[in-house]
C-alpha cells in the first residue's frame, strides 16, 4: 500500500464523507442544546454556581473525545456525581470539591490501569436490560418537575415537539428531528411572546471560557483524608456509569470499544475538569442516546463538538439560548426515554419464555435504581442477586450415585457437577457411612472442585469413614481440581 493510500485509511470518516460530517456536526449541536439545562440542574444539586456545571460539561466532552475509548459517547456533568460530591461542598467548601474531582480522576486512571473494566463481564444480560429500562424511567422522571405547576401552553408545546420528532424522520433525515423541534418551538414562543419557563430561568450562562488553576485548599494530609472517601466514591460511580453506557452503545452500534482506555480516559477528563474549576462528571446516558440513537452520530467529532458548541452557545449566543423554552428540551428527553426503554423485555411473549430468576433480577435492578436514583447501586445489587440465583441453581446440579461391587467389599460413589460452597454443603450428607463396606471410592471424573469449601467437605467425608475404620480413595480429579485438593486437603482444620 502506498503512503498516500495509507494516509487515506487513517483519515476519520467525517473528513472523507460529507454526509457523515453533517450528521456529526448537527448531532453535536443538538446534544449541546440538551446539555445546558441538565448541567445547570446538576450544578444546583451539587450546590455550586451554574457556570461550574457548564464548564465541567465543556471540558469533559472535549477531553473524552480525544482520550476516551468509546466513540460518540457523551461525557459531562452528571446527577450521580453531583449527589456524591454535594455533601463535601456543603461541609468543606468549593475548594475541597475541586480537589476531590482531581483525586477522583487519579483514582479512575489507577483503576483503569488495574483492569477494572474487565469486571464488566460479570454483569449479566438481565442486569443490563434492567439498567437500560431504569435509565429510561429516570430520564422520564427527571422531566416531570418541568411538566408540573407550569403555564398551560407548556403542554401543547411538548405534544407538538413530540409530534414533530415522530413525523419528521418519515419525511427527511437530513436534519436531526430534535434540532428542528427546538428551533420551531423557540420561534413560536418568542414570536408569539408566549410566557413559558425557558433555559434562562434555570440560571445565568457563563460569559467567558474557564481558566486553569489549582484548587484553593491547604495541601496537607488532613485535606487528603477529608476528600479521599468522596473522591473514591465518585471514581467508582463514574466508572460504573461510564462502562455500562459504553457497553450499551456497543450493542446499539454493533461495534466494540476499548473499556480500559475509556476508564483511563474518564480519569484524565476529570483531572482536566478539576484544574479548570469544573465539578467533574462521567458518561451521560440521556445525551449519549440523543447523539447515537436519535441523531445517528458514530465518531469522536460529535462528542468534541457537543462540548465546543456548548461554550459557543453560552458565550456567543447566550441571550438566544436563554429564550429556548424548557418544553422543547423536555419533549426531546421524553422522546429519548421512550426510545431507550427496551419494550421487548416486558412484552407478554418475552415474560412467558423468560426464567423467573431473570425477570426478578431485571425488576430488582429497575426498582433499586429508581428508588436510589443511582445507577451504580442498582447494577451492583442486580449483579449480586443474579449471582445468588445462579449459585442456588448450580448447587442442585451436583449429584452423587453409588454402585456396590458384587462381593460387597467396595462401593464406588460417582459425583457429577460443580463442587463449590453452595453445592458442597449438601455433599457430606449423601454418603452411607455406617452401611458402606470397608473400601470406598469417590470418583470425581465428572466433577470439578472450585473452592476450599469443597476440599473441606471431602476431608469431612474421609474423616467420617476413618472413624468407622474404613478407607477412602478419591479418584478422577482433573488437573486444576487435583492441584487445589493437594494444596488444601488436611490443612483446613486446626487438628491437622
Q: What's the pLDDT at 15? A: 67
Average pLDDT of the segment spanning 159-166 = 94
* Predicted TM-score of the model (pTM): 0.76
* 193-245 pLDDT per residue, tens: 999 999 888 888 888 889 999 999 999 999 999 999 999 989 988 998 899 89
Question: What whole-number percentage of the chain has pLDDT above 70?
Answer: 95
Residue 12 has pLDDT above 70, yes or no: no
110 close to 369: Cβ distance less than 8 angstroms: no
Measured CA to CA, the distance from residue 470 to residue 462 in angstroms comes to 9
CA distances from 97 to 101, 214, 216, 315, 423 (A): 6, 12, 10, 25, 48
Q: What's the pLDDT at 7? A: 45
Residue 361 has pLDDT above 90, yes or no: yes
Q: What's the pLDDT at 478? A: 94
* 23-44 pLDDT per residue, tens: 999 999 999 988 988 888 788 7
Q: What's the pLDDT at 494? A: 54
Q: What's the pLDDT at 13? A: 62
Residue with more model confidence, 490 or 185: 185
What is the average pLDDT score of the chain?
Answer: 88
Residue 2 has pLDDT above 80, yes or no: no
Measured CA to CA, the distance from residue 348 to residue 159 in angstroms comes to 29
Residue with more model confidence, 61 or 329: 61
Average pLDDT of the segment spanning 122-130 = 86
Range scoring the smallest mean pLDDT among 52-61, 331-340, 464-473: 331-340
Residue 396 has pLDDT above 80, yes or no: no
pLDDT interval class at 5 (50, 70, 90): very low
Average pLDDT of the segment spanning 260-265 = 96
* 410-468 pLDDT per residue, tens: 999 999 988 988 888 778 888 999 989 999 999 999 999 989 999 999 999 999 999 99
Residue 11 has pLDDT above 70, yes or no: no
Residue 496 has pLDDT above 50, yes or no: no
Residue with more model confidence, 406 or 367: 367
* 302-320 pLDDT per residue, tens: 999 999 999 999 999 888 8
Q: What's the pLDDT at 193? A: 92
Average pLDDT of the segment spanning 353-371 = 91
Residue with more model confidence, 57 or 333: 57
Helix/strand/coil (H/E/C) assignment for every residue in the chain? CCHHHHHHHHCCHHHHCHHHHHHHHHHHHHHHHHHHHHHHHHHHHHCCCHHHHHHHHHHHHHHHHHHCCCCCCCEECCHHHHHHHHHHHHHHCHHHHHHHHHHHHHHHHHHHHCCHHHHHHHCCHHHHHHHHHHHHHHHHHHHHHHHCCCCCCHHHHHHHHHHHHHHHHHHCCCCCHHHHHHHHHHHHHHHCCCCCCEHHHHCCCCCCCCCCCCCCCCCCHHHHHHHHHHHHHHHHHHHHHHHHHHHHHHHHHCCCCCHHHHHHHHHHHHHHHHHCCCCCCEECHHHHHHHHHHCCCCCHHHHHHHHHHHHHHHHCCHHHHHCCEHHHHHHHHHHHHHHHCCHHHHCHHHHHHCCHHHHHHHHHHHHHHHHHCCHHHHHHHHHHHHHHHHHHHHHCCCEEEEEECCCCCEEEEEEEEEECHHHHHHHHHHCCCCCCCCEEEEEEEEEEECCHHHHHHHHHHHHHHHCCCCEEEEECCCHHHHHHHHHHCCCCCCCC
Residue 400 phi, psi (nearest 5): -125, 125
362 close to 133: Cβ distance less than 8 angstroms: yes
Q: What's the pLDDT at 407? A: 77
365 close to 358: Cβ distance less than 8 angstroms: no
Q: What's the pLDDT at 4? A: 47
Residue 349 has pLDDT above 50, yes or no: yes
Q: On the CB side of 148, how many CA atoms lie within 13 Å of its CA?
A: 5
Amino acid at each position: 500500500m502506498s503512503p498516500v493510500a495509507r494516509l487515506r485509511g487513517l483519515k476519520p470518516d467525517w473528513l472523507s464523507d460529507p454526509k457523515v460530517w453533517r450528521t456529526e456536526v448537527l448531532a453535536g449541536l443538538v446534544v449541546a442544546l440538551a446539555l445546558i439545562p441538565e448541567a445547570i440542574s446538576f450544578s444546583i444539586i451539587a450546590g455550586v454556581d451554574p457556570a461550574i456545571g457548564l464548564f465541567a460539561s465543556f471540558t469533559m466532552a472535549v477531553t473524552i473525545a480525544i482520550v476516551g475509548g468509546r466513540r460518540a459517547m457523551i461525557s459531562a456533568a452528571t446527577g450521580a456525581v453531583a449527589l456524591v460530591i454535594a455533601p463535601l461542598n456543603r461541609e468543606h467548601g468549593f475548594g475541597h470539591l475541586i480537589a476531590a474531582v482531581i483525586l477522583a480522576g487519579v483514582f479512575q486512571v489507577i483503576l483503569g490501569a488495574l483492569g477494572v473494566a474487565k469486571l464488566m463481564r460479570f454483569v449479566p444480560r438481565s442486569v443490563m436490560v434492567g439498567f437500560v429500562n431504569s435509565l429510561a424511567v429516570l430520564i422520564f422522571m427527571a422531566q416531570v418537575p418541568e411538566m408540573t405547576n407550569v403555564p398551560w401552553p407548556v403542554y401543547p408545546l411538548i405534544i407538538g415537539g413530540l409530534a414533530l420528532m415522530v413525523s419528521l424522520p418519515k419525511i427527511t433525515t437530513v436534519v436531526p428531528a430534535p434540532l428542528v423541534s427546538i428551533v420551531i418551538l423557540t420561534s413560536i414562543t418568542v414570536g408569539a411572546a408566549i410566557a413559558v419557563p425557558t433555559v434562562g430561568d434555570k440560571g445565568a450562562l457563563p460569559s467567558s471560557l474557564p481558566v486553569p488553576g489549582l484548587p484553593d485548599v491547604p495541601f496537607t494530609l488532613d485535606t487528603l483524608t477529608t476528600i479521599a472517601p468522596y473522591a473514591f466514591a465518585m471514581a467508582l460511580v463514574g466508572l460504573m456509569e461510564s462502562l455500562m453506557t459504553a457497553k450499551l452503545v456497543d450493542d446499539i452500534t454493533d461495534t466494540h470499544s476499548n473499556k480500559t482506555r475509556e476508564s483511563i480516559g474518564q480519569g484524565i477528563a476529570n483531572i482536566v475538569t478539576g484544574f479548570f474549576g469544573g465539578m467533574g462528571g462521567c458518561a451521560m446516558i440521556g445525551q449519549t442516546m440523543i447523539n447515537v440513537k436519535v441523531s445517528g452520530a458514530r465518531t469522536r467529532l460529535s462528542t468534541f463538538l457537543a462540548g465546543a458548541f456548548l461554550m459557543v452557545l453560552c458565550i456567543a449566543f447566550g441571550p438566544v439560548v436563554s429564550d429556548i423554552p424548557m418544553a422543547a428540551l423536555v419533549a426531546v428527553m421524553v422522546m429519548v426515554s421512550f426510545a431507550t426503554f427496551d419494550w421487548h423485555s416486558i412484552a407478554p411473549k418475552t415474560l412467558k419464555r423468560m426464567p423467573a430468576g431473570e425477570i426478578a433480577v431485571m425488576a430488582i435492578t429497575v426498582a433499586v435504581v429508581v428508588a436510589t436514583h443511582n445507577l451504580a447501586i442498582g447494577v451492583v445489587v442486580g449483579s449480586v442477586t443474579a449471582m445468588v440465583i445462579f449459585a442456588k441453581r448450580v448447587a442442585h446440579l451436583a449429584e452423587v450415585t453409588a454402585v456396590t461391587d458384587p462381593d460387597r467389599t467396595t462401593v464406588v460413589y460417582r459425583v457429577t457437577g460443580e463442587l463449590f460452597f453452595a453445592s458442597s454443603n449438601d455433599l457430606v450428607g449423601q454418603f452411607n457411612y455406617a452401611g458402606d463396606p470397608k473400601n470406598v471410592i469417590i470418583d470425581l471424573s465428572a466433577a470439578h472442585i472450585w473452592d476450599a469449601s469443597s476440599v473441606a467437605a471431602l476431608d469431612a467425608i474421609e474423616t467420617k469413614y476413618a472413624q468407622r475404620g474404613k478407607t477412602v480413595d478419591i479418584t478422577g480429579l482433573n488437573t486444576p481440581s487435583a492441584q487445589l485438593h493437594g494444596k488444601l486437603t488436611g490443612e483446613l482444620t486446626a487438628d491437622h
